[in-house]
Amino acid sequence: DTAVSQTPKYLVTQMGNDKSIKCEQNLGHDTMYWYKQDSKKFLKIMFSYNNKELIINETVPNRFSPKSPDKAHLNLHINSLELGDSAVYFCASSHSVEQFFGPGTRLTVL
């Protein structure tokens, strides 16, 4: 059984489009996260949700918006996509110290 899953695995789209990436965890964790990994493999936290409340919002453009319909899901919506948004986006979840990561979504903006 997959613990943290993301869809789609690959996403290719044009500049200016709006897209969403979905994340689901079946671990019963209270907290979920989104990370961005750039072309140099550098990973940075974007958002976290704890009990459906946004806890962290780093210096991320407001074109990015996390949406959590319930504790098991944290989706990432991106409006007006730009070339610089091309990256691999990872979802993660945690209950205490350890974080479990999804397989990633590779977003390519043309």
Minimum CB–partner distance for residue 94 and other proteins (Å): 8
* CB of 12 or CB of 15, closer to other proteins: 12
Q: Is 72 in the site for other proteins (CB under 8 A)?
A: no
Q: Kindly write out the interface string for residues 39-68 of this chain, putting x where it contacts other proteins by CB under 8 A and - elsewhere.
A: -xxxxxx--xxx----xx-x----------
1-6, long-range: CB < 8 A, 24+ apart: 1/26, 2/26, 3/27, 3/93, 3/100, 4/91, 4/92, 4/93, 4/100, 4/101, 4/102, 5/102, 5/103, 6/89, 6/90, 6/91, 6/102, 6/103, 6/104, 6/105
In the complex, minimum distance from the CB of residue 75 to other proteins, in angstroms, rounded to a whole number? 17
